[in-house]
Amino acid sequence: MRAEIASIIGKNAVIGNGFVRLENASLEDIYRLNLHARTASRVLLQMAKGAYRDEDDIYRVARNVAWFLWFSVKRSFKISIESTGSHLKSLNFAALRVKDAVCDCFREEYNERPSVDKDNPDIKIAVFLDKKSVAIYLDTSGEPLFKRGYRQGQGVAPLRENLAAGLLLLAGFDGSQAFFDPMAGSGTIAIEAALIAKNQAAGLNREFAFQKLNNFQAACWQKIHTQAEQAIINAPHKIMAFDKDKKIIQIAQQNAENAGVAKDIHFQAAHFPTDKPCHDDNGLLLCNPPYGERLETQNMVQSQYPQWATCLKQQFSGWTVGFFTADRELPKIIRLLPKRKIPLYNGKLDCRLFLFDMVSGSNRRQKV
C-alpha cells in the first residue's frame, strides 16, 4: 500500500498496524487516492485526536471540531466506532457521545442539527479508540473502496475487489504479461487484472463521499477524472477467465461489462485442468480455488491437486502460478515448491498466497 500511494501522488506514507498514514495531504491527493488506489479500503481524514478517561473526554475531543465547516446541516451522517484495548464498558455509548458533539456543534451555529442515517448516510465519521487515546476521522470514500461499482452478481464466496488486486500486485502482475484464471467464479480477479492492464483507475465508475463535503472542488475533481479517462490504454496481452459453471461465467461477463473491460477478457465455460488457452511463453496463472471447511469437501478438492500439478507442468512451463487458499497442504500434495508463501486474510479466514515458478524443460540444469 505504501508503494501504491507513492506511485499515485508521489508522497511517502508511514506504515502503521493495519493502516498507512500520510502527513500534509491536499484535497487533490485525497481525490487521487480515492480514484486510483486498488488495494485500500478507505481514505480517512483525521479531524481530532486526544487522550481520554471516559466518554465525556471523548465528547470534548469531538466537540472541538467545527463540523459545520465540513458538511451541511442538510446532510445525514453516521458514527462508526472501533476499539483496540479500550477500557470503556460500552462502545455504543462512546459513539453516542460523538454523535452528541456533532449535533451540538450544528445547534450552536444554526440552531438545528443534521439527521442520523444508519443505513445510507451522506457522511461517515469513524472513531478509533486505543487504551488511552481517541482519534476521529472523516471518511472521504463513503462506500468502501473495494466496491468498484461493477459487481452486480457474484459466486458463493467472492473475493473483495481490493484483495483480488492485491493478489495480482503481490504476484508481480503489471499488465505486461498474459493472464489466466482457470477458476474465475464471478470474474473478480480477471476483471482487476484487466483494469491493471488497461491502466484504468479502480474507482472510475463510482462516486465518493468527498463530493458531498462543503470544500469539494468540482473543477479539480473533473480534471483528475478526465486525466484518468485519457490514461486508459488497450490491454497489451490476453486475459482469460474460465469456470466450469456456465451460469457463473455469464455473471462474470456481465460484471466485466459493467467495469468496461468485457472486450479485454476471454471468458469460457471449461473445467480445470485444461489445455493452456494461449501460446504465450510466460504469463501469470492466478486463482482462488474452492476450499471446504467440511472434511469431505476438503478431501474432494485435495483429490484434484495431482491433476492440477500435471497440467501446470505440461502446459504452463515458463509461467508464474499462484494459488490463494486456506489449505496449507496444497504445496505438499501438489508436489511443487513455492517460491513465496504470503500470509493474507480473506475476511476472517487465514489464507496463503502460494507462488510457484513453472520451469520449462529447456531451463533445467543438465548434467555435464
**Predicted pLDDT of residue 364:** 39
**Cβ 268 vs Cβ 222: under 8 Å:** no
Q: In whole angstroms, give the CA distance from residue 44 to residue 270.
A: 42
Are both 117 and 14 inside the same structural domain?
yes
Task: Lay out the sheet containing 178-181: strands in order across.
Answer: 265-269, 239-243, 178-181, 283-287, 320-325, 349-357, 340-346
**Predicted pLDDT of residue 292:** 59
| Residue type (1 letter), 268 | Q
**Cβ 87 vs Cβ 125: under 8 Å:** no
Are both 125 and 168 inside the same structural domain?
no
Count up the domains in the chain and report the number: 2
Write out the three cell numbers for 90.
Answer: 460500552
Are both 105 and 191 inside the same structural domain?
no
CA atoms within 13 A on the CB side of 149: 13
**Predicted pLDDT of residue 53:** 96
Are both 333 and 190 inside the same structural domain?
yes
Q: In whole angstroms, give the CA distance from residue 54 to residue 230.
A: 51
Are both 43 and 74 inside the same structural domain?
yes
**Predicted pLDDT of residue 368:** 34
Are both 75 and 174 inside the same structural domain?
no
**Cβ 222 vs Cβ 248: under 8 Å:** no
Structural domain span for residue 344: 161-202+233-363
**Predicted pLDDT of residue 287:** 95
Of 129, 186, 126, which is closest to residue 154 (Cα–Cα)?
Answer: 186
Q: Is residue 152 part of a domain?
A: no
Are both 287 and 183 inside the same structural domain?
yes
Instruction: Find the DSSP H helices in the chain.
Output: 2-9, 27-36, 55-63, 91-110, 161-170, 188-197, 218-230, 246-259, 295-302, 305-315, 330-334
Q: Is residue 124 part of a domain?
A: yes
Q: Is residue 112 part of a domain?
A: yes
Please state whether beta strands 44-51 and 133-139 pair in parallel, antiparallel, or not at all (unpaired): antiparallel
The CATH number of residue 344's host domain is 3.40.50.150
Q: Is residue 225 part of a domain?
A: no
Are both 6 and 51 inside the same structural domain?
yes
Are both 85 and 166 inside the same structural domain?
no
**Cβ 164 vs Cβ 284: under 8 Å:** no
The CATH number of residue 88's host domain is 3.30.2130.30
Are both 279 and 186 inside the same structural domain?
yes
Are both 196 and 330 inside the same structural domain?
yes
Q: Which residues are CB-neighbours of 216 under 8 A, at least 6 positions away?
A: 210
Q: Is residue 212 part of a domain?
A: no
* Tens-binned pLDDT, residue by residue, of the chain (368 aa): 788 998 999 988 888 877 889 988 999 999 999 999 999 999 999 999 999 999 999 999 999 999 999 999 999 999 999 999 999 999 999 999 999 999 999 999 999 999 999 999 999 999 999 999 999 999 999 999 999 999 886 665 679 999 999 999 999 999 999 999 999 999 999 999 999 999 999 999 999 999 999 999 999 999 999 999 999 999 999 899 999 999 999 999 999 999 999 999 999 999 888 777 888 889 999 999 987 555 556 777 888 888 999 999 999 999 999 999 999 999 999 999 999 999 999 988 999 999 999 986 433 333 43
Are both 198 and 271 inside the same structural domain?
yes
Helix %, strand %, coil % of the chain (to 5)? 35, 20, 45
pLDDT in tens, 316-368: 999 999 999 999 999 999 999 999 999 999 988 999 999 999 986 433 333 43
Q: In whole angstroms, give the CA distance from residue 261 to residue 120.
A: 29
Q: Is residue 214 part of a domain?
A: no
Q: In whole angstroms, give the CA distance from residue 155 to residue 249.
A: 10
**Cβ 316 vs Cβ 356: under 8 Å:** no
Q: In whole angstroms, give the CA distance from residue 186 to residue 156.
A: 9
Q: Is 85 left (phi over 0), alpha (psi -120 to 50) or beta?
A: left
Calculated CA dihedral for residues 327, 329, 331, 333, nearest 10 degrees: -120
Where does a domain end: 86, 104, 139? 139
Q: In whole angstroms, give the CA distance from residue 137 to residue 126.
A: 5
Of 111, 90, 113, which is closest to residue 102 (Cα–Cα)?
Answer: 113
**Predicted pLDDT of residue 31:** 98
Q: Is residue 213 part of a domain?
A: no
Of 139, 121, 122, which is closest to residue 47 (Cα–Cα)?
Answer: 139
Q: Is residue 269 part of a domain?
A: yes
Please state whether beta strands 123-129 and 133-139 pair in parallel, antiparallel, or not at all (unpaired): antiparallel
**Predicted pLDDT of residue 279:** 82
